Amino acid sequence: MADIPASDARPDAPSEPRAATPSVTAVVVAHDPGAWFEETLDSIVTQDYPRLELVVVDGTGEGDLGERVRAVAPDATLIDASDTDGFAAAANTVLETDVESAFLLVCHDDVALAPDAVRVLVTEALRSNAGVAGPKLVDWERPEILQHVGLSVDQFAVAADVIEPAERDQEQYDRVRDVFAVPSACVLVRTGLFAAIGGFDPGITRRGEDIDLCWRAQLAGARVLVVPDARVRHRSDLIGRTGVDDIRRTRARHQLRTVLVTGGRLRLLGTIPLLALLSLAEITIAAFTGRFGQVRDIVSAWTWNLSRLGEIRRRRAGLRPKITISPGDVRAAQASGSVRINAFVRGQIGRGDRAFGEELVTAMRTGTTRFSVLAWALVLGLIVFGSRALISDGVPAVGDFVAFPDSGGALIDTWWSSWRARDLGSVGSTPTGFGLLGVLGVLLGGSMGLVRTLWVLGPVVVGLIGAWRVLSVSGSRRAQIATLVAYAALPLPWAAIAGASWTTLGVYAVAPWVLRALLEAQASAPFRTTAGPVRGLVPAAVAAGVAVGLAGVFDPVVAVVTVLVAAGLVAGALVAVNPTGVVRLVAASAGAALVGALLTLPLSIELLANGLPWHPFADGRTGDASTEPLTDLLRFAIGPESAAPLTWAFAVPMAVPLLIGRAWRFDLAVRLWFVALTAWGVALTAVHGVVPFGLPEPGVLVAPAAIAVAALCGVCVSALEHDLRRAGFGWRQLLLPLAIGAAAIAVLPSIGAITDGRWGLGRGGYENVLPLADPTLDGSYRVVWIGHPDHLPAQGSPFVADMAWVATIDGLPDITERSIPADRGAHDQMEAVLDAILAGETSRAGRLLGGLGVRYVVAVERLAPAPFSDVDDARPLPDALAETLDTQLDLRRLAGVNSALRIYENTEWTSVRAAAVSSFDDGRTTLFDLQVAPITGTIGVLGGSDDRIEGPVPDGVELFVAQSVDRGWRLEIDGSEAARRRSFDWATTFVPAAGGGDAVLSYTTPRWRQLVVVVQLLALLGTVSLSVRRLVGGRR
Amino acid sequence: MRALRLLALVIIGGLIAVGVLADERDRTIDELAPPVIVTTPDARTGTWFCAGGSGAVGAATVGLELVNAGGDDAVVDVQVVRDDTADGQRTEVVVPAASRVPVNLPQLAPEATWLGAIVESNDADVVVEQTFDGLSGTDRAPCATATGSALYAADGATRLLAEGESMTLLLMNPFQDDAIADVRFDADVGPDSISAIVVPARRIVAIDVTEEVTVASRVHTTIDVTVGRLVANRLQVRNGTTVRGLAVTPLVQDGAVVSVVPVVETRLGLFDRLHVSNPSAESAEVDLEIVTDGGATLDPIELTVRAGRTVVVDVAAESRLAALPSFSVVARSLTGQPVAVAVERRAELGSDLVAGTAAMGALDAAATEWIVARDGNVSELSVVNPSSDGIANVELWRVSADGETFLTSIELGPGRRQVLDAPDIAERDLLRVRATAPVVVGRANAGFTSRQMLAGVIADGAVPLDQLD
């Protein structure tokens, strides 16, 4: 405190010859004030404090301020500070005068002090030895409403009020307290302290100067107090006066400036990266919610400060000698955590109003809200605990849970290209969802394992959020909780994880959102108020379409959920003799299909262009019967881990609304029952092989039933709340304990499933058990996978019985090869060969497959290799098929491989890209000609990514490329483009114009396809923005 | 409200009940039916497994005859399979339309002691037969178009010193993986066995049964292939004072519930014996139905074949058959186990007939079209209609460079057999037999010094005999 006069440093020690009452100079900084200014001046002039001088600083030099001041306070001193910019610099001009008072009372020009305010402040400052003291600020017009009672500030200089928005003043805060900062609207500061720390930071024009001042004051050893007995009214309408809403921008800039000026070097090493991370998160969220102004403001905060680093360094240097206490002590006085995050959670960032935060705080005081939070915490906690091994060890690459590329960039590259390498190659879009996952991987610093885990577990959380919202219009928080808990407790998602079925998880995620949207479209109670439907037809259709579309960008199969839910709701409405909205429902479903098609644009166009093929939705199934009994479907026991019989207990809460429900509870229950029955019915027809075409897996089909069951549990609660009390004493009263008991029993299996931390999913995939050759040695090759669709590492094409096939390049597929494209290229060649094998028409499958670039045939008999899968869950290759494979003359079965597999190596394989003598295909016009005259004398050449392959090509050879013909491919050797011809009626052979050399085989994606993808991205961005806005906007 | 509630409950309950009842119904779960594979040679497969014989200096020097019964030239790929570790030579042969091309296998692998071949063609009119030539005679047999996991050699003898009898088994593994087989001998001198013989991929393994089971007048051999699948030939040399001949017979694969021996004779000097083996673990009741040309109707020969045993029926000893110069036999396992049936013929020296030995396995399939490559100066083509109720109109066509020429036709009633003959059939003609219903074709050839019994080769319309009715 070297620069602080002793009298100020020890205010309790009176000094001669000064009077016992310290003098105070009130510094009112005026910026062209309005009509209220006289009242401000008058409130100061009429203070009961005896030694008070008034200085008015004219910050603008405009108007007749002098006259106005003289009219009220003739003795006041007027300082012209029109050459300054902002409140802080203007206030500092007082230091340029010969101010001799002990205290400065710095005020805005829009405050009105209670008559005793100065006296109370000074008295407390002297008594508590405070350097800075602030009054209780209340609303100008409604003085019973608190405005500020000191500020809490975090390490990022972000302030938060200790009071709640619009809180009434009931003297609840009337206690002198240490606070980190007090607003500059009215602040009493020791003159010596103010001078010693250089007053306000003149670089802070407005907003944040008070925090900066108080922070530096504390570093200089001063206390900061709020003295609530001093009462000051404050207009606080800066935006209205300036006409500029720059709150967010100026706050962001000045907060960062304060951190940079006041932070210690070591502390800044931790604070700055954290701040940068927070800014990044805020930018991301703001971008997704379409608040691009917010993005600009956050970015500009950094650029603004970076352009003033010299000034910041000077201020740091000037502050350093004044620091008398450890920055750690100051840090201890700050709010823990991040005020910004807390504010965001409370919805205060990016929102113009404070209703949500206020609502939340108010709601938290109610029991149901606390119960809701508890329920969510419990559900999410159990999910995290139950998934702990998946989170910590990663998700094994089995079934649908295919491996991801090593980097997000690789995922993006593959997605951007329209060449699909799977099967025999074809032109088609990789689902855009994987491109987005690639972007997420890049944003997460390349942590693709984390992205993959989120890809698997994320749908569960999305589904639960959707389930929470299904009955939000009912007004019963307990109903929402029941729906949430039931949806989480059903075995479906956990069985889907155990069975590595992402499609089922996708439908689990989407089904609640679609159900809610279609219920809104149907507009029956409770989705209709006296004022009309809670949501219009078009928004409801859009909502359903968006839900399907957003999941459809990962897997188009989820679209079936719309059909099932809509069909169930229509049937339910008809049975309930309440056909209201059926037409709306049908229209909404059609609208949802259109929106979904827009959001899945490249794929939807491809489906149309290929005559709406069914195979992308059949998941490799043929429509043959399977073995799942109805009881398994009803219990959602669709995975390798069979559900416990206790799941039947859900039947009780499902039945309750049917038995006692009235009004909309009964009506909604019937509709939900029919949604469930429809889903179960379709699943039953599928497993009985009634329909002549393949349907998605049973888990996908029963997922709409799952949300219907969960919602019925919610309706059960509503019925118990509303309808039970109307019933007289009787059997109905038994339903309450019965339902509670059944619910308790029903959730037990899911709780029990958390023990292994992986929901029964195997611990390892096939990546370590496949003895496949290194493609860099002999050239790239294909692997044909044959097995049950549930076990294949990608969506397959139907083969025979319950077997499907898929072909991949160089081993196990990654996520980009998971989905089956609408156009399957020359897949018919592969199917012809497989059919010939099956029919026993060839003993030279190797030669035929060799012509397709196939080196290995892998029959997958279990989801995961031994010992990570149970032999009881095996789907062995049919004996007849195994026998025909065993008796091929050129397939060699690799012995000693994992018992979950049969692997055959083709002894007559040809590389996918083979250099061959020019006569290699002479006289062989079709693939089947290879049976007697196989391809010989080839070597594998070129390597690289899917659509750009490079390497040297020997002299005097042709390049046989075993993939579907497409004009987008071209071969250049030393810059010279090679001619091409068709081989075996399906593949391409490039004929170099000159000799060998460095070759580049590349694929060029058509521009129109990329344009379509851009359109899709824009549609997705807009959709997500609108959706998040709507969610954050707080509509229920 | 109450009525509506009741209605909803009834409908929902009803639908659930319907679902439960529907789920009770048996589901038609399509099990993948195994492809219809018959062990009777079928030209449509295009792949021929010739288990082979000896090299240039052996007792049964093997050769191939590639027969093209079609109107276009055919390209045939021949890959030699040998008993040593040398690489099998491969050659491509163009077989002109309506012709037969011999392939001298020992020329392709002169050092090989034992050798066979895998022959491939994408032409369904190509037939591959293996020929054998030795000091004790010649023989001929179609190459197999299927492999088996159980193989049976119905007869054999190893009285080398006394009767000059020697027996060799040739096991060929045409696949890329090693095969393992257990061989069991049931001989009049007692049982014997060899366990876990490894037949390497693309190799032939020869088992000298004469060394394994010495001085046996009757040896029945069963081969259980525990890993992989095989084809096999039995080489039986008889060089005694009363009988002399070479019989190289493809082993019967897997057995059949119903099979047909198309050619059996009772002429004086001919000694035909039927061998019925039951490889299963239970006794089999087997009827040997005598199929004649309609001149006589005889009761079947009823056999009880104990598990793992072989019953031999000496046709010459059945007095009631003596009146039949030739007939066919349908072997039907009444108890359902597949049984292996074969016939062996012996014509002793000194009779009026051409001396020699021959043998063939029973056929397990009928077909509507057959290809027959005639050989020998006497060749008898027998056609059997194994159906119990259908009449087959059978036509005989000659295939030549000028096309096909109709020779003759017959009407064959159900359960009847007849010898197909035409006056102008030449010794080396290529013939096609076409029938309106599935029939079985077999042939018995006699040259100047040797005898042969062999099946025709299916060209189209194959039906397993056990599925015929």
Comparing CA positions, the residue from B18, B2, B17, B16 lying closest to residue A659 is B2
Comparing CA positions, the residue from B420, B355, B335 lying closest to residue B384 is B420
Cβ neighbours of A141 (radius 10 Å): 8
Residues A552 and A495 sit within 8 Å (Cβ to Cβ): no
Instruction: Note the pLDDT of residue A727.
Output: 62
Flag whether residue A630 sits within 8 Å of chain B, measured between CB atoms: yes
What residues of chain A lie within 8 A of the CB of B35, using their CB?
838-840, 880, 884
Instruction: Note the pLDDT of residue B268.
Output: 80
Q: Do B22 and A684 touch (CB under 8 A)?
A: yes
**C-alpha distances in Å from residue A769, one per residue of A765, A772, A860, B182, B280:** 8, 9, 12, 32, 39
Using CA coordinates, name the residue in chain B closest to A889.
Answer: B175
Instruction: Note the pLDDT of residue A273.
Output: 82
Flag whether residue A843 sits within 8 Å of chain B, measured between CB atoms: yes
Residues A565 and A513 sit within 8 Å (Cβ to Cβ): no
| Secondary structure class of B311 (helix, strand, coil) | strand
CA distance B146 to B35: 12
Output the six-digit token pair for A827: 């897949």
Instruction: Note the pLDDT of residue A347.
Output: 42
Residues A740 and A724 sit within 8 Å (Cβ to Cβ): no
Best of A887, A908, A919, A931 to disrupt the B interface (most B CBs within 10 Å) is A887
Mean pLDDT across chain B, nearest whole number? 90
H or E segment and range at residue A135: strand A132-139
Q: Do A932 and B75 touch (CB under 8 A)?
A: yes
Comparing CA positions, the residue from A924, A62, A150, A821 lying closest to residue A421 is A821
The residues with which A547 forms a beta bridge, in sequence order, are none
CA distance A514 to A469: 11
Amino acid at A618: A
Report chain A's terminal Cα–Cα distance, integer Å: 56
Q: In chain A, which stretches have pLDDT less than 50?
A: 1-18, 347-361, 364, 1034-1036
Comparing CA positions, the residue from A108, A95, A88 lying closest to residue A30 is A108
Q: Do A880 and B121 touch (CB under 8 A)?
A: no
The separation between CA B423 and the C-alpha centre of its own chain, rounded to angstroms, equals: 29
Top pLDDT among A675 and B268 is at A675
In this structure, is the dihedral angle defined by the CA atoms of residues A486, A487, A488 and A491, taken in order, positive or negative?
positive
Say whether pLDDT at B449 is over 90.
no
The residues with which B109 forms a beta bridge, in sequence order, are none
Q: Do A840 and B174 touch (CB under 8 A)?
A: no
3-state secondary structure A75-143: CCEEEECCCCCCHHHHHHHHHHCCCCCCEEEEEECCEEECCCHHHHHHHHHHHHCCCEEEEEEEECCCC
CA distance A433 to A201: 49
Q: Do A886 and B9 touch (CB under 8 A)?
A: no
Output the six-digit token pair for B327: 């007939």
Using CA coordinates, name the residue in chain B closest to A628.
Answer: B23
CA distance B361 to B5: 75
Output the six-digit token pair for A902: 């049969």
Instruction: Note the pLDDT of residue A355.
Output: 40
Taking any CB pair shorter than 8 Å as contact, residues of chain B touching chain A are 1, 4-5, 7-9, 11-12, 15-16, 19-20, 22-23, 25, 27-37, 45-47, 75-77, 92, 118, 120-122, 147, 174-177, 201, 228-229
Cβ neighbours for B56, distance < 8 A, ≥ 6 positions apart: B106, B107, B110
Instruction: Note the pLDDT of residue A288.
Output: 57
Residues A60 and A31 sit within 8 Å (Cβ to Cβ): yes
Residues B191 and B184 sit within 8 Å (Cβ to Cβ): yes
Instruction: Kindly state the DSSP code that residue A832 receives in the 8-state scheme.
Output: H
Instruction: Note the pLDDT of residue B52.
Output: 94
Question: Would you say the ipTM is above 0.90?
Answer: no
The shortest CB-CB distance from A889 to any of B1, B29, B174 is to B174
The shortest CB-CB distance from A843 to any of B9, B47, B228 is to B47
CA distance B224 to B152: 9
Flag whether residue A626 sits within 8 Å of chain B, measured between CB atoms: yes
Amino acid at A229: D
Distance from CA of B178 to the nearest CA of A (A): 9
Using CA coordinates, name the residue in chain B closest to A680.
Answer: B19
Comparing CA positions, the residue from B359, B390, B400 lying closest to residue B236 is B359
Best of A668, A875, A879, A889 to disrupt the B interface (most B CBs within 10 Å) is A889
Q: Which residue has the tokens 């000034």?
A: A311
Instruction: Note the pLDDT of residue A341.
Output: 65
Best of A690, A843, A904 to disrupt the B interface (most B CBs within 10 Å) is A843
In chain A, positions 668-707, which contact chain B (CB-CB < 8 Å)? Answer: 670, 673-674, 677, 680-681, 684, 687-689
Q: Do B27 and A801 touch (CB under 8 A)?
A: no
Amino acid at A101: S
What residues of chain B lie within 8 A of the CB of A886, using their CB?
175, 177, 228-229
What residues of chain A lie within 8 A of the CB of B27, using their CB?
625-627, 687-689
Mean pLDDT on B95-123: 93
CA distance A205 to A223: 25
| Secondary structure class of A1009 (helix, strand, coil) | helix
In chain A, positions 862-881, which contact chain B (CB-CB < 8 Å)? Answer: 878-881
Distance from CA of A910 to the nearest CA of B (A): 17
| Secondary structure class of A455 (helix, strand, coil) | helix
In chain A, positions 751-810, which contact chain B (CB-CB < 8 Å)? Answer: 800-801, 803
Q: Do B8 and A932 touch (CB under 8 A)?
A: no
What residues of chain A lie within 8 A of the CB of B201, using their CB?
892
Output the six-digit token pair for B343: 């016939």
CA distance A26 to B358: 133
E strands, A397-484, where?
419-420, 426-427
DSSP secondary structure of A55-78: EEEESS--SSHHHHHHHH-TT-EE
Output the six-digit token pair for B269: 């000097």
Flag whether residue A892 sits within 8 Å of chain B, measured between CB atoms: yes
Instruction: Note the pLDDT of residue B352.
Output: 80
What residues of chain A lie within 8 A of the CB of B118, using their CB?
889
Task: Give the tens place of pLDDT for each residue, A918-964.
Answer: 888 888 889 998 888 888 888 999 888 777 899 999 888 999 999 99
Residues A404 and A448 sit within 8 Å (Cβ to Cβ): yes
Comparing CA positions, the residue from A460, A476, A467 lying closest to residue A380 is A460
What residues of chain A lie within 8 A of the CB of B17, using their CB?
none
Distance from CA of B11 to the nearest CA of A (A): 8
Instruction: Note the pLDDT of residue A726.
Output: 63
CA distance A346 to A349: 8
- Between strands A103-108 and A186-190, the pairing is antiparallel
Q: Do B5 and A658 touch (CB under 8 A)?
A: yes
CA distance B364 to B462: 10
**C-alpha distances in Å from residue B150, one per residue of A893, B226, B359, B463:** 20, 9, 19, 21
Distance from CA of A785 to the nearest CA of B (A): 18
What residues of chain A lie within 8 A of the CB of B120, using their CB?
843-844, 931-932
Using CA coordinates, name the residue in chain A closest to B122.
Answer: A932
CA distance B26 to B19: 13
Q: Do B177 and A838 touch (CB under 8 A)?
A: no
Q: Do A931 and B28 touch (CB under 8 A)?
A: no
Comparing CA positions, the residue from A79, A81, A176 lying closest to residue A133 is A176
Output the six-digit token pair for A409: 């960039």
Q: Do B11 and A575 touch (CB under 8 A)?
A: yes
Q: Do B177 and A677 touch (CB under 8 A)?
A: no
pTM given for the model:
0.73
Which stretches within B25-76 are classed as H helix? none
What residues of chain A lie within 8 A of the CB of B15, using their CB?
677, 681
Instruction: Note the pLDDT of residue A994.
Output: 81
Comparing CA positions, the residue from A465, A426, A559 lying closest to residue A968 is A426
Mean pLDDT on B422-438: 89
Using CA coordinates, name the residue in chain B closest to A666.
Answer: B5
Residues B467 and B427 sit within 8 Å (Cβ to Cβ): no
Top pLDDT among B224 and B348 is at B224
**C-alpha distances in Å from residue B9, one per residue of A891, B17, B28:** 60, 12, 32
Distance from CA of B4 to the nearest CA of A (A): 7
| Secondary structure class of A603 (helix, strand, coil) | helix
Cβ neighbours of B25 (radius 10 Å): 8
Instruction: Note the pLDDT of residue B264.
Output: 92
Residues A434 and A816 sit within 8 Å (Cβ to Cβ): yes
Output the six-digit token pair for B363: 């056929």
